[in-house]
Amino acid sequence: MVRVLCWLMVFGLFMPVLAATVAPDPHSFANFQQVRTRHLVLDLAVDFTRQQLTGYAEHQLERLDPTINRLVLDSRNLKITTVTFTNDGVHWQKAAYLLGIEDALKGQPLTIQLQVLTKAVRVYYQTTPQANGLQWLTAAQSSEKKQPFLFSQSQPIHARSWIPLQDTPANRITYQAHIKTPPELLAVMSADNSANTRRNGDYQFDMPQPVPSYLIALAVGDLHFKAMSADTGVYAEKLWLDRATAEFSDTQKMMDAANQLFGKYPWKRYDLLVLPSSFPFGGMENPRLSFVTPTIITGDKSLISLVAHELAHSWSGNLVTNASWNDVWLNEGFTNYVENRIMQQVYGQPRADMELLLNVRALRNLLTHQAPADSRLQADYSGRDPEEAFQQIPYVKGQLLLLTLAQHFGQAKFDQFLREYFAHFAFQSIHTESFIQYFQQQLNSKQSFSEQALQRWLNAPGLPDELALPASDAFARVSAAQQQWLAGKAGLRLLPTAEWSVHEWLHFIDLLPRELTEQQLNELDLVFSLSQSSNAEVFTAWAQLVIPLNYQPIIQPLRQFLLSVGRQKFIIPLYSELKANPQWRSWARQVYREARPGYHPLAQQQLDKLAL
């Protein structure tokens, strides 16, 4: 029997059978089930004048199906100059290759001919100005306004716009990189950055732990480092460095809490990189070095749950990874859950509960207009932009499923289960089915959580009725105070706002009726200076409320905000509100025309779609 099996393996008949059990990735051309990159060597020069990366990507291969003679990589808007291959790791020869027809979503497949013994291929290439995974900022667009800045954003399928590779979260690779920059700038990557790196324009990186392609990240700028604790620190332009380390000074505590709950932090260091304000996201969980927006640096740690979120991805997402973007709730729902557990431990239950309730409100708002099929946890984004998958459904509905399971099995037991889940699937990419199977075996072997209930969570639209959400006393007090004011029983100055946190303010604004009079708006603004709020969350919530009401005093600060902040979470809803107001629409169009060059290509793409 054993001999027959070996014989089958030698002739390559066995592997395809194994490989066929894994679903392919609808958002990638890569034939990673037949031949896959296991190690990537990047050698790139960063040219700020041409806004171009030039160099090569070397793919060290594992042949899963020895009968296959071609490697298919993903690429988008890349200029390929030469492809070479080696059979012995020493001699390189030119390889035949074909850049296929462009697909609007996936880009172009790059198919490279392999010989039986080919071990590695090198693709020599240049990026183009259309690389939507890169933002090139001129000196004037950086925070310090003295040096240019470059950063990448690979998730979900933009790595292929700056590296030709198998751009699927189903495959994991180790990588090393040699990056050349102007000598006065510092390069950092989602790898082993060192505080003692000499600033000379010639940098080496190594990522010895296998990661999916969307976690490969690079930033170059006039960056400086400041340590916060032995294992945590901040990279930023000088302007932000002190403020950022003060804002993020609890990062080590968060890490200690997560270590306790979910197992030892697996990535050695944890640093944060503060990006210029055009960064289109709040944060991005690039391993060892989360990228974050400066809009969370508020001086009062009020938006710090974002750091807990990106840190949480060190387990949910980076250690155990969704194998396709249809499984994104395995990354984001788990991370919202882990984030909230960290917030409970470090800042206490009341704050964590307020944050959860604000999440749930955002989810409920979305559900009022979401297509039912897309409100399933197991949604299908084949043939669509996977960017669309990242909304409150996987984040908050996913979080609520885990919360429900924790309530059902007990907090301690559920935490232990998650700890074991992270250890069991460490450094693997999995589909939802693998989680379900593991859950059924390890935690639910007695079927006390019914199959039916589980299927409803995964495949039914909307939210189950029987949710047990925490009650927030703080929110209840805010609601009561607001009622008093609306009923004319108390003036605004009498409301007990002195101790309110940003969460209470957000609750207060969310709760306000949508049809306030001009006099009421003026009064709110006079007493609370909401139009002048320097907290981007508060400002955006307030602006969204007052734009439809033609509230003039918002105009100047709103213009200022839209010209200086590129975070999509804020600017997309703001422009949408502006578009919906016929009186303000053409004004918004002008602001957008002015602001657009400063926005990230991904934000530009989304806002162009809005058709202001």
Terminal-residue alpha carbon distance, the chain: 68
In the bound complex, what is the minimum distance in angstroms from residue 71's beta carbon to ligand BES?
27
User: Closest Cα to residue 229, out of 186, 265, 191, 276?
Assistant: 265
User: What is the distance between the alpha carbons of residues 96 and 82, in angstroms, rounded to a whole number?
Assistant: 9
Question: Binding partner of residue 283 among Zn ion, ligand BES, none, CB under 5 to 8 Å per kind?
Answer: ligand BES
In the bound complex, what is the minimum distance in angstroms from residue 296's beta carbon to ligand BES?
9
Is 282 one of the binding residues for ligand BES (CB under 6 A)?
yes
User: Closest Cα to residue 274, out of 297, 301, 304?
Assistant: 297
Mention every residue, 6+ apart, whose C-beta is less than 8 A from residue 586.
Answer: none
In the bound complex, what is the minimum distance in angstroms from residue 315's beta carbon to ligand BES?
13
In the bound complex, what is the minimum distance in angstroms from residue 290's beta carbon to Zn ion?
10
In the bound complex, what is the minimum distance in angstroms from residue 338's beta carbon to Zn ion?
10
Kindly name the residue from 395, 421, 551, 592 that is annotated as catalytic.
395
In the bound complex, what is the minimum distance in angstroms from residue 396's beta carbon to Zn ion?
12
User: What is the distance between the alpha carbons of residues 545 and 520, in angstroms, rounded to a whole number?
Assistant: 12
Token digits for 361? 């409100």
Contact characters 303-332, Zn ion, x per CB under 5 A: -----------------------------x
- Residue entry with tokens 């899963």: 64
User: Closest Cα to residue 598, out of 129, 278, 292?
Assistant: 278
Question: Binding partner of residue 156 among ligand BES, Zn ion, none, CB under 5 to 8 Å per kind?
Answer: ligand BES
- Residue whose CB is less far from ligand BES, 121 or 308: 308
- Residue entry with tokens 């604790």: 229
For the chain, how big is the Rg over CA atoms in Å?
A: 25
Q: Please answer whether residues 316 and 435 qualify as being in contact, where contact means their C-beta atoms are separated by less than 8 angstroms.
A: no
Is 237 one of the binding residues for ligand BES (CB under 6 A)?
no
Is 294 one of the binding residues for ligand BES (CB under 6 A)?
no
What is the footprint of Zn ion within residues 519-578 (CB under 5 A)?
none
Whole-Å CA distances, 514 to 272, 517, 582: 38, 10, 17
What is the footprint of ligand BES within residues 551-580 (CB under 6 A)?
569
Question: Binding partner of residue 281 among ligand BES, Zn ion, none, CB under 5 to 8 Å per kind?
Answer: ligand BES
Q: Which stretch binds ligand BES (CB under 6 A): 228-236, 276-284, 441-449, 553-561?
A: 276-284
User: What is the distance between the alpha carbons of residues 33 and 25, in angstroms, rounded to a whole number?
Assistant: 10
Q: Which residues pair with 62 in a beta bridge?
A: 36
What is the footprint of ligand BES within residues 305-334 (CB under 6 A)?
306, 309-310, 313, 332
Q: Which of 284, 304, 401, 574 binds ligand BES (CB under 6 A)?
A: 284
Question: Binding partner of residue 122 among Zn ion, ligand BES, none, CB under 5 to 8 Å per kind?
Answer: none
Is 390 one of the binding residues for ligand BES (CB under 6 A)?
yes
In the bound complex, what is the minimum distance in angstroms from residue 262's beta carbon to Zn ion?
15
- Residue whose CB is less far from ligand BES, 58 or 271: 271
- Residue whose CB is less far from ligand BES, 155 or 533: 155
Q: Which of 283, 394, 598, 601 binds ligand BES (CB under 6 A)?
A: 283
Q: Which of 285, 353, 355, 537 binds ligand BES (CB under 6 A)?
A: 285
Q: Which residue is nearest to ligand BES (CB)?
A: 282
Is 281 one of the binding residues for ligand BES (CB under 6 A)?
yes
Whole-Å CA distances, 484 to 109, 478, 488, 519, 521: 62, 10, 6, 17, 16
In the bound complex, what is the minimum distance in angstroms from residue 313's beta carbon to Zn ion?
6
- Residue whose CB is less far from Zn ion, 396 or 578: 396
User: What is the distance between the alpha carbons of residues 397 and 391, in angstroms, rounded to a whole number?
Assistant: 10
Is 361 one of the binding residues for ligand BES (CB under 6 A)?
no
- Residue whose CB is less far from Zn ion, 222 or 355: 355
In the bound complex, what is the minimum distance in angstroms from residue 307's beta carbon to Zn ion?
12
- Residue whose CB is less far from ligand BES, 112 or 296: 296
Number of residues that bind ligand BES (CB under 6 A): 15
Q: Which residues pair with 32 in a beta bridge?
A: none
Q: Please answer whether residues 293 and 281 qualify as being in contact, where contact means their C-beta atoms are separated by less than 8 angstroms.
A: yes
Q: In what order do the strands lie in the sheet with 52-63?
A: 93-94, 78-86, 120-127, 52-63, 35-47, 173-180, 202-211
- Residue whose CB is less far from ligand BES, 120 or 289: 289
Q: Please answer whether residues 137 and 278 qualify as being in contact, where contact means their C-beta atoms are separated by less than 8 angstroms.
A: yes
Q: Please answer whether residues 391 and 283 qualify as being in contact, where contact means their C-beta atoms are separated by less than 8 angstroms.
A: no
Q: Phi/psi at 356 (nearest 5 deg)?
A: -60, -45
User: What is the distance between the alpha carbons of residues 279 and 219, in angstroms, rounded to a whole number?
Assistant: 12
Q: Please answer whether residues 213 and 159 qualify as being in contact, where contact means their C-beta atoms are separated by less than 8 angstroms.
A: yes
Token digits for 531? 């139009």
Compute how many other C-beta atoms are within 10 angstroms of the C-beta atom of residue 523.
16
Strands (E), 237-309: 270-274, 283-284, 289-292
- Residue whose CB is less far from ligand BES, 336 or 533: 336
Q: Which stretch binds Zn ion (CB under 5 A): 233-241, 300-308, 333-341, 600-608?
A: 333-341
Can 395 be counted among the known catalytic residues?
yes
- Residue whose CB is less far from ligand BES, 281 or 592: 281
Can 144 be counted among the known catalytic residues?
no
User: What is the distance between the alpha carbons of residues 81 and 554, in angstroms, rounded to a whole number?
Assistant: 51
- List the alpha helices (DSSP H) in 248-289: 251-262
Contact characters 334-373, Zn ion, x per CB under 5 A: -x--------------------------------------
- Residue whose CB is less far from ligand BES, 237 or 285: 285
Q: Please answer whether residues 156 and 65 qualify as being in contact, where contact means their C-beta atoms are separated by less than 8 angstroms.
A: no
Whole-Å CA distances, 195 to 4, 162, 245, 483: 55, 26, 15, 53
In the bound complex, what is the minimum distance in angstroms from residue 310's beta carbon to ligand BES?
6
What is the footprint of ligand BES within residues 155-174 (CB under 6 A)?
155-156
Kindly name the residue from 58, 247, 285, 310 that is annotated as catalytic.
310
In the bound complex, what is the minimum distance in angstroms from residue 587's beta carbon to ligand BES?
27
- Residue whose CB is less far from Zn ion, 332 or 577: 332
Residues lying near ligand BES in the complex (CB under 6 A) are found at 155-156, 281-285, 306, 309-310, 313, 332, 387, 390, 569
Catalytic residues: 310, 395
Residues lying near Zn ion in the complex (CB under 5 A) are found at 332, 335
